Structure 1
Amino acid sequence: MSGPHESMSFAALRGQLQEAAATFAGGPDALEGILLGLVDDVDRAVREPLEIFPVCHHSPASATAMARRLREKQPKVVYVELCEDMAPLLSELRNCRLPVAVQAFAGDVDGFPVEWAPLSVVAPITEASAEYQAVAYALDTPGVELVLVDRSADHVFQWDSRGRAAADEASAEASAASGEPEAALHGEAVGVEIGDLRPRFAELEEHLLRHGKVRHWSEWWHQYVEVPLGAGTGDDAADHDTYRQVMFLIGSLFRRLAPGDGDRIRVDEDRERYMWTRMREHMAATGTEPADALYVCGAFHAASRVAEFGVDGSDTFTISPRTATGWQYGLIPSSHAAIEAQFGLAPGSVSIAATEWAKSLKRTRVKPFRLEGQAGTKKSGRKRAAAAPAVPAPRSGAAEDRLSGFLRRPPVLDGLDEAELLGWSVDIVRAARRNGYLASTADAIAVFETSILLAGMRDRAKPTPYDFQDAAVTCIEKDVVPGRRDVRRLVEIMMGGDRVGQVGYEALPPLARDVHDRLAPLGLKLQQRGVQRALLDMVSRPELRACSDVLWMLRRLMPHGAARPIMGERRLGERSIQESWDLAIGTHQRALIELGYEGVSIEQVLEQRLRRDAYGPRATTATVLAAVEDATLYLGSRRLADELGTHALKVLATERSVDGAPEVLRRVRALLAYYRTSEPVLPSWIESFVKTGYAHYCTLLPTAFRDEDATVGQVAAMLGFLFSMESLALSLGCDRAQLELAVAQSHPEEPSKTALLWAAQVQLGTLSRAQLRERCDALLGNPLVVPAYPRYLSGFVHALEPVPGLADVVVEAVSNAFGRLPDAVLLPWLPLLITTMRSGAAELAPLLIREAGRIFPGRLAALDAWVPPWRTPAVPPVVRRVGAEESGPRGAALLPAHPAACDAVAELLGCAGEWARPGAPAGLSGAALLAAHPAACDAVAGLLGCDGEWATEAVSPSVATAPGAALTARHPAAAKAWESLLARA
């Protein structure tokens, strides 16, 4: 590996490092090997004929050096470390406002585990990044070819066994980063970037942070790499060779001190083999000379030791074929916060880098590359000036040792810019006041002085933005954050804020453009971020009905908040004539773009998702019915609804649990009500579903009553389906005996299910209400059962779903418990009663409350004299003649007053017997004749020509117990005839 120019280039540096190793380690050891290995890596990279340009992602120093080098060298081919299958999208960057991310998306996977889906890979791009400078140069310079050489998105998941874990980790970091919604713009995507330059050795990073007197890695990089390598205007400026050698050295250091993570090292080395193989293939196919090309890659990969390294490397690496997964590509909006969250950078570091980039351009007067027509940039009024003549790249072995001088040079002390620091201090106080802080001019002075003090304590001549941030938090925030943002966040906003990118209309997929076109009648700027209010009056403007349909589908497909209805609703059989919406489609642009990966219209995407939900391996009857409802509600598709409904029959037949019974009951009731009011006949699938469901739930009912995993709410829903669909099921040929047999075979042990079974028996007629009341009284009278009484009540409350007519019995059961139990028993299980009813039957409580309101008195004064209906004695009625005088015998009292007449009639009819005297048993009297022969009574009344009207009224118990009282009430005409006959006698 050594060459003839090695001793001339880095011999002095080697000698210095050997002396340092001997001094610190006391002789040759591993330290000497590491230090000399760093020099070998730098020397190898420098001597490579194909110029390697090492970069760090989102580094202003790298971007500035890249812009300067591109204008000097003017390469004809630019190789960039970026997924090769993302190349066709880069030309669309001119239609966007940076930052944006290039995305590869796969919803359906073939060759990967199903649980990984959907797969997403993003590569964020900012203006202050070296790769954007290279892309802009290549796309806008005639005769320059841009070639992406990194592994494809498919290989990202092929090679990285941590693919799914990386996505989960990125999602967790995004959700935890500062609480800002922009931090989750990349979602669960796996991020790829140029220049992932950070120590992978935790102890090394901790050592650097501690001795550098900084808090996090972004601050260390800014202080010890960005500032020294930042392009200056004097002798202290780092030229191109110095920049390259320093970046090679840093990349080699982090690579050699990386832990022995075999999987990660293997992936890094495979990426390097992949890239060098692709570059050699391209140069061989096109005849490109290495001197006419530039290779842009991360400094970590520039110091590579694989055999395939270089244009003269071996061609032993075989690139595996891609899987059959179909990938979709597009641009999604990104933000500084999203980049920081996904790649583990300090909050605000990308915003500070963007500010430093702008300052560097102004100080160095380097003209950056920007795509023509780039959104968010000023358009040039004249043609691009002719580029300066190309400077030939240094030949192999001609590089000089710039590291020795750079490492021996003392730190560059940038003088204090008091005007800049004063401006920062004034601006942060002004921002703090707007956000509720009691900041004053004295706080601005304190921030100014504290920033200088902190910089001095950290051996800095000039306060960095991080020093200023710490000073502002110390002097302004104190102990209270009165507003939504703390001072640290205010400093980040002041330094440039969380800039959020936007994808232009021309770069959107067809579906997104179609949505914008169909919502154009609303007259809103839908690409604008933030919430906008849309008012739809479909009476005066019928064309807005189409907009309403689109908005309801977007609400179904997109995240919460993208389209939120304020007024109006859409249910089965109901359509609003006026609606009001809060729209944030521009804020959720990424979600809309990802919908475009699934189809060309939102109707197609919605139908695909409904089918996927209904035919998925975990689909239940409830989810299929939900798909039927959505197909009817949003698409109005009878064809799709019938297809999915037929599939629901198959799913129901295969289910052996009752977990989804409540949801099935609710949705079937809603669909039945809709079809009965909007269709002339019920669809055949729903008739079959009711018939099949009736038999299915009858079969599962005894098992569900005994199953400990089945809740009382689920069993109640089963009974609700059986009782509410019973009339339709019987008309379709079902047998009610199947339900009666299922109830008879049910023997629950759980108290709540026992109460539910009693309610079902009442509904079927096998148990009377009086018997049910007796059982409830027996429960309260048994001290051993009283602690479980709340669970019985829970079962009764759930029974209101299948048997709503038992509401009065449930109110009676609760009232008896509160009236009979002493406080010592009642109070301990009262919390259990409340929590049980709240958690298990909250939706049935209104029915119970309405029934209690009907039974109990409405005023407090009436409570003392109020008697519960279940305690009022049931008195049988007696009869009286309308208009008769109040004196003398009446109605039922007539027969006991004239027992001889009754005996005479009995003798004529051949019925012997004695009349019961007062105190004798009622069943042995002659008055029983009237009860045995009611027709005879009516016949006598007809012969005598007696007719009249009788009215019932409550009589005293002594009269009501007379032997003939029941007969006279049943046959008032006969009683009147007897009275007339006796009067004549």
Structure 2
Amino acid sequence: MSAAPDPRTAPGAGTGPGRVFASLRAQLHAAAEEFAGGPDALEGILLGMVDDVDRAVREPLEIFPVCHHSPASALAMARRLREKRPKVVYLELCEDMAPLLTELRNCRLPVAVQAFASDIDGFPPDWAPLSVVAPITEASAEYQAVAYALDTPGVELVLVDRSSDHVFQWDARRPAGDDQEEETREDGAALHGEAVGVEIGDLRPRFAELEEHLLRHGRVRHWSEWWHQYVEVPLGDGDHDTYRQVMFLIGSLFRRLAPGDGDRVRVDEDRERHMWTRMREHLAATGTDPADCLYVCGAFHAASRVEEFGVHGADGFEISPRTTTTWQYGLIPSSHAAIEAQFGLASGSVSIAAAQWAKNLRRTRVKPYRLEGQAGTKKTPEKKTPAERAAAPAAIPDLGPAPAPAPAEDRLSGFLRRPPVLDTLDEAELLGWSVDVVRAARRNGYLASTADAIAVFETSILLAGMRDRAKPTPYDFQDAAVTCIEKDGVPGRRDVRRIVEIMMGGDRIGRVGYEALPPLARDVHDRLAPLELNLQQRGVRRALLDMASRPELRSCSDVLWMLRRLMPHGAARPVMGERRLGERSVQESWDLALGTHQRALIELGYEGVSLEQVLEQRLRRTAHGARATTAEVLAAVEDATLYLGGRRLADELGHRALEVLAGERTVDGAPEVLRRVRGLLAYYRTAEPVLPPWIESFVRTGYAHYCTLLPTAFQDEDATTGQVAAMLGFLFSMEGLALSLGCDRTQLELAVAQSHPKDPAKTALLWAAQVQLGTLSRQELRARCDELLASPLVVPSYPRYLSGFVHALEPVPGLADVVVEAVSNAFGRLPDAVLLPWLPVLITTLRSNAGDLAPLLIREAGRIFPARLPALDDWIPPWRRPPAAPRAARPGPAVGAPRGAALLPAHPATCDALAELLGCAGEWAPAGGPPPAATGAVLLPVHPDTCDALARLLGCDEPWAPAGTAPRPPSLTGRHPDTAHAVAALLADR
């Protein structure tokens, strides 16, 4: 902060007009001595503020200081424009936005002028996309100046602020949370998104202690309320000189008490140098008299102390060239809430300002400027014929020589010494507010009554009196309504504070007219015209598409699916119908909110002239990005096939996917790659006569690629079980196609043999792969699972093995029965002390790591387990059932002959082998001859081991009788007579 006044603006500098504020300087000097005990920095600040005002007042080019969205500034601007009738209006707005201002007449305010760049050159890539917005409302001085300049013949409007490109060139990218003067980042909740806001006249103290002091002594809650009470209302009836001097003084105060932040000061001063340089260039090029010009800028910049200030300032400032970034320009809808959020204003302050603007117009009868044909305003009078216009007085004042300005007078002394005017209570207005808010509250579910209206009325007066105000302000009334009506709960979706904001004017949301839309947005509305819906209005519209009866709606369906892909969620939402590879719905139902998401649709127009072009550009940008993955490129291939049709772009992106796959060294995207390749293969096999060359190359390259990465992935701790399972799923499911294209299965066998995982889940996955390759049998796999359950040291990690088995269902779905058996054995064999702590781990492991594969496991379990509860008592699991006994041989053709006798002559070789195995050597009896003496009984003592095995097989487990004792009666005859007879017949004497 400067403690001494500027030597060029010191008292006495210049001629007579420089002595206008001599009395004010003397008063402030005496006040500084009285309060500070002598001249010091306080005197320097106070006198410096007067010097700033004096300097700005004496400038030959009239400076009109404003505060953004201030009704007092807009009213003073309308008055001054009708009085001065300037020929040139210099406006503090980005100079490259000038061509857009003529399109404001096709819009309903508030809207924002936007500069947008998606392809940037000269800025860091992570800044993209770049967006700059300048909101405009009707209750703003800038709109009054624009409307006057555009609708008045012979008036030139010149924008003098830095360009949108320079906004980012000069942006120091301060950390989030650092307050910015006119460039703030919004949280994305309002219509402006993450755009940088450029605003005329952001007039707010940067010195936190000063703002806190003003709020505390003003007995208000926030800055918007303080401004309304102590600046907005007093200046509403002030004359032009008083308005200018007060605004100069406030701007100088905030400027001199601002923290000495180097970056912020540099940006502020560079903006002022830029604007004065541009104005001097224009004056020199056109020869315009500065007295015929008006410079509209924020009060903060009006009290400038740079050397380039004024038409006679220095010319040493050099404006840097713009970058090669391509900027697109357009208008986007804005709203009161968006402006409040972006520029840190209190909620509802812009709506209250709009209501105050309308009230000021009725009270003062000042005729504001509005663009001819402006949407959302009152209907303009019908145009007259040339003869009628010649006979009638001119609607716009003649731009003859402007009257000479009157000598400047000191209006600050009287304004500062004048006590505040206490407005009398307007009981009718306050009573109307009280009745309206109760009525609105009842519509929103509050149990409000006439007593609440009376309470709001009286409480508003009470609060105003406590804050030294005779007339309650809208903020006092809002506090009273919250206190008396809301009480302890909000029954609906709106609280009372929001109800008051709506009652005062609401969150007015602008709309960009059809003629002001970019070509892409107009093309979308034209192509959706067969739906016969008003898509310009905000809100949700339901569209029903029956393509069977109305084939022309298929093109509308294509547009809607592309909008769903390109625009934010909710702009186009399908209720019924889907679009997948190889599938098209005959009937569809959509919820459309294009009017609500008009900003997003307009920004699409900055990227191309049609939806197809924008989608193709985005798909290419995604596929050729520096960090593009194989899964992302395959998703782009799928989108190109779904939305654009044809093979050109899909084949191009497919070859790009092949390049990205060959360069990947990780398996992070393996699950997504597997899912998308399977879908594309299924589509091409049904929709195309032959597979595209790129997908054949992709399968061949992917087979070799994943075989190479498989051993490393099994040992890599960063590679998850699901990713390894997806690799195996690609290898096993694509194996037939890959082998037909020339791949070698030995490569996969070697990769599995070289894999030695340490993780239990991956170990189980490796066992499943070995089963699929045939190097491990299912019986051996069951045996390993039994060993895991038998080891107390391994039981705690058994859920991880099960997780691996469940993941193995992706590459080897035939193991579902083995996995069910493994889980069932765990529940059947583990004791409760081990099972109960272990069960939550199992459930969370399966749910988090194998949620997609659990349905397959459940279906297999449903097939194995009984369907009814009573059957569970006698149910035996399949893996515990003994092998089924061999079926008895069918009876021979000879009736009454032993069944085995028919086998002997039919199969002599088999009978000889069985006789040799059982130790019964003999010769065949001649045909028709007597049988040999030996019988089957001789086998028992000759081959006791074989006899014991046969006895156990037939249910006979009695021990042999001791030698010399009577033989025990055979149990076969008593227990299993049928079986004994069958064996006797099979082993009949030869």
TM-score > 0.5 by shorter chain: yes
Q: How does 1:821-840 map to 2 (within 5 A)?
A: 821-840=830-849
The percent identity for this pair of structures is 80
Aligned-partner Cα distance in 1 for 2:578–2:28? 75
For the pair 1:149 / 2:160, whether they are aligned, the reply is: yes
For the pair 1:632 / 2:641, whether they are aligned, the reply is: yes
Q: Does structure 2 retain, via aligned residues, the 8 Å contact 1:658–1:714?
A: yes
Within the candidate set 3, 24, 28, 1:13 is matched to 24
For the pair 1:385 / 2:391, whether they are aligned, the reply is: no
Q: Which amino acid aligns with 1:195?
A: G
- Quote how far apart the aligned CAs of 1:395 are: 4.9
Aligned-partner Cα distance in 1 for 2:116–2:888? 86
For the residue of structure 1 that corresponds to 2:21, the secondary structure is helix
Within the candidate set 401, 410, 419, 1:410 is matched to 419
Query: Structure 2: which 5+ residue stretches go unaligned?
Result: 1-7, 384-393, 905-910, 927-934, 958-980
- Quote how far apart the aligned CAs of 1:287 are: 0.6
Aligned-partner Cα distance in 2 for 1:694–1:273? 65
- Quote how far apart the aligned CAs of 1:325 are: 0.2
Q: Which amino acid aligns with 2:52?
A: D
What residue is the counterpart of 1:129 in the other structure?
140
Distance 1:393 1:118, change over 3 A: farther
Deviation string 1:295-343 (CA, Å, 9 cap, x unpaired) is 0000000000000000000100000000000000000000000000000
- Quote how far apart the aligned CAs of 1:902 are: 5.1
Q: Does structure 1 retain, via aligned residues, the 8 Å contact 2:17–2:58?
A: no
Q: Does structure 1 retain, via aligned residues, the 8 Å contact 2:63–2:297?
A: yes
Distance 1:298 1:923, change over 3 A: same
Bigger Cα displacement from structure 2, 385-394 vs 525-534:
385-394
Q: Does structure 2 retain, via aligned residues, the 8 Å contact 1:73–1:390?
A: no
For the residue of structure 2 that corresponds to 1:148, the secondary structure is strand
For the pair 1:304 / 2:310, whether they are aligned, the reply is: no
Within the candidate set 667, 671, 686, 1:662 is matched to 671
What residue is the counterpart of 2:775 in the other structure?
766
Aligned-partner Cα distance in 2 for 1:95–1:173? 28
Q: Which amino acid aligns with 1:5?
A: G
Aligned-partner Cα distance in 2 for 1:172–1:323? 22
For the residue of structure 2 that corresponds to 1:476, the secondary structure is helix
- Quote how far apart the aligned CAs of 1:3 are: 2.1
Q: Does structure 2 retain, via aligned residues, the 8 Å contact 1:64–1:366?
A: yes
Q: How does 1:245-394 map to 2 (within 5 A)?
A: 245-382=245-382, 385-387=395-397, 392=402
Q: Does structure 1 retain, via aligned residues, the 8 Å contact 2:518–2:602?
A: yes
For the pair 1:53 / 2:64, whether they are aligned, the reply is: yes
What residue is the counterpart of 1:903 in the other structure?
921
- Quote how far apart the aligned CAs of 1:887 are: 9.1
Q: How does 1:402-551 map to 2 (within 5 A)?
A: 402-551=411-560
Corresponding residue pairs, total: 927
For the residue of structure 1 that corresponds to 2:413, the secondary structure is helix
Q: Which amino acid aligns with 1:662?
A: P
Within the candidate set 192, 195, 199, 1:189 is matched to 195
- Quote how far apart the aligned CAs of 1:418 are: 0.6
Aligned-partner Cα distance in 1 for 2:402–2:986? 140
Q: How does 1:170-189 map to 2 (within 5 A)?
A: 174-175=186-187, 183-189=189-195
Q: How does 1:19-38 map to 2 (within 5 A)?
A: 19-38=30-49
Distance 1:981 1:697, change over 3 A: closer
Q: Does structure 2 retain, via aligned residues, the 8 Å contact 1:372–1:379?
A: no
Within the candidate set 228, 231, 245, 2:234 is matched to 228
What residue is the counterpart of 2:974 in the other structure?
none
Aligned-partner Cα distance in 1 for 2:828–2:938? 43
Distance 1:923 1:297, change over 3 A: same
What residue is the counterpart of 1:875 in the other structure?
884
Distance 1:31 1:394, change over 3 A: farther
- Quote how far apart the aligned CAs of 1:209 are: 0.6
Distance 1:408 1:767, change over 3 A: same
Aligned-partner Cα distance in 1 for 2:865–2:218? 78
Aligned-partner Cα distance in 2 for 1:465–1:887? 116
- Quote how far apart the aligned CAs of 1:819 are: 1.0
For the residue of structure 1 that corresponds to 2:719, the secondary structure is coil
Q: Does structure 2 retain, via aligned residues, the 8 Å contact 1:173–1:341?
A: no
What residue is the counterpart of 1:949 in the other structure?
none
Distance 1:660 1:172, change over 3 A: farther
Aligned-partner Cα distance in 2 for 1:175–1:221? 25
For the residue of structure 2 that corresponds to 1:412, the secondary structure is coil
Q: Which amino acid aligns with 1:66?
A: M
What residue is the counterpart of 1:933 in the other structure?
none
For the residue of structure 1 that corresponds to 2:872, the secondary structure is coil
Aligned-partner Cα distance in 1 for 2:867–2:142? 78
Q: Which amino acid aligns with 2:242?
A: T
Q: Which amino acid aligns with 1:455?
A: A
For the pair 1:649 / 2:658, whether they are aligned, the reply is: yes
Aligned-partner Cα distance in 2 for 1:70–1:166? 39
Query: Structure 1: which 5+ residue stretches go unaligned?
Result: 177-182, 232-237, 929-953, 960-974
- Quote how far apart the aligned CAs of 1:919 are: 7.2
For the pair 1:556 / 2:576, whether they are aligned, the reply is: no
Deviation string 1:428-469 (CA, Å, 9 cap, x unpaired) is 111111111111111110000000000000000100000000
What residue is the counterpart of 2:857 in the other structure?
848
Q: Does structure 2 retain, via aligned residues, the 8 Å contact 1:903–1:914?
A: no
What residue is the counterpart of 1:934 in the other structure?
none
What residue is the counterpart of 2:216 in the other structure?
210
Deviation string 1:929-963 (CA, Å, 9 cap, x unpaired) is xxxxxxxxxxxxxxxxxxxxxxxxx984669xxxx
Aligned-partner Cα distance in 2 for 1:866–1:334? 71
Q: Does structure 1 retain, via aligned residues, the 8 Å contact 2:340–2:349?
A: yes
Q: Does structure 2 retain, via aligned residues, the 8 Å contact 1:166–1:190?
A: no
Distance 1:598 1:386, change over 3 A: closer
For the pair 1:41 / 2:63, whether they are aligned, the reply is: no
Deviation string 1:696-743 (CA, Å, 9 cap, x unpaired) is 000000000000000000000000000000000010111111001100
What residue is the counterpart of 1:63 in the other structure?
74
What residue is the counterpart of 1:710 in the other structure?
719
For the residue of structure 1 that corresponds to 2:806, the secondary structure is helix
Aligned-partner Cα distance in 2 for 1:711–1:906? 69
Q: Does structure 2 retain, via aligned residues, the 8 Å contact 1:903–1:915?
A: no
Q: Which amino acid aligns with 1:385?
A: A
Q: How does 1:927-938 map to 2 (within 5 A)?
A: none
Deviation string 1:526-581 (CA, Å, 9 cap, x unpaired) is 10100000000001000000000000000000000000000000000000000000
For the residue of structure 2 that corresponds to 1:903, the secondary structure is coil
- Quote how far apart the aligned CAs of 1:801 are: 0.5
For the residue of structure 1 that corresponds to 2:660, the secondary structure is helix
Deviation string 1:71-120 (CA, Å, 9 cap, x unpaired) is 00000000000000000000000000000000000001100000000000
Q: Does structure 2 retain, via aligned residues, the 8 Å contact 1:429–1:439?
A: yes
What residue is the counterpart of 1:697 in the other structure?
706
Aligned-partner Cα distance in 1 for 2:275–2:183? 28
For the residue of structure 1 that corresponds to 2:590, the secondary structure is strand
For the pair 1:93 / 2:115, whether they are aligned, the reply is: no
- Quote how far apart the aligned CAs of 1:175 are: 4.0
Q: Which amino acid aligns with 1:428?
A: V
Q: Which amino acid aligns with 2:115?
A: A
Deviation string 1:132-161 (CA, Å, 9 cap, x unpaired) is 000000000000000000000000000111
For the residue of structure 2 that corresponds to 1:186, the secondary structure is coil
> TM-score by structure 1 length?
0.90
For the pair 1:798 / 2:804, whether they are aligned, the reply is: no
What's the C-alpha RMSD, in Å, of the aligned pairs? 2.8
Q: Which amino acid aligns with 2:395?
A: A
Q: Which amino acid aligns with 2:336?
A: H
Q: Does structure 2 retain, via aligned residues, the 8 Å contact 1:171–1:184?
A: no
- Quote how far apart the aligned CAs of 1:387 are: 2.2
Within the candidate set 141, 156, 170, 1:159 is matched to 170
What residue is the counterpart of 1:111 in the other structure?
122
Within the candidate set 733, 737, 740, 1:731 is matched to 740
Q: Does structure 2 retain, via aligned residues, the 8 Å contact 1:72–1:389?
A: no
